[in-house]
Amino acid sequence: MALASPHITASVIAAVDYPDLVQHYQVTGVPKTVVNDRVEILGAVPEADFVSQVLESIA
């Protein structure tokens, strides 16, 4: 998605290296996706669902 839009950034974060972030975002399982600190997506979801949930963050 980051590749498809200049307005989107995407970070992959190694949970084990950043316990402070894990605590802050309450990561209890992976993959866990946090969008604009507002929307959370748990686990791996199909592309269409993922895109629509990401876009919810700016709705």
Which pair of tokens denotes residue 7? 């307005």
Please report, as residue ranges, which positions from 1 to 59 form the binding site for other proteins (by CB under 8 A): 1-18, 21-22, 25, 27, 30-37, 47-48, 51-52, 54-55, 57-58
Task: Tell the smallest beta-carbon distance from residue 50 to other proteins (Å).
Answer: 9
State how far the Cα of 4 lies from the Cα of 16, in Å rounded to an integer.
29
Which pair of tokens denotes residue 25? 């975002």
State how far the Cα of 47 lies from the Cα of 57, in Å rounded to an integer.
16
User: Which stretches of the chain bind other proteins, using CB under 8 A?
Assistant: 1-18, 21-22, 25, 27, 30-37, 47-48, 51-52, 54-55, 57-58
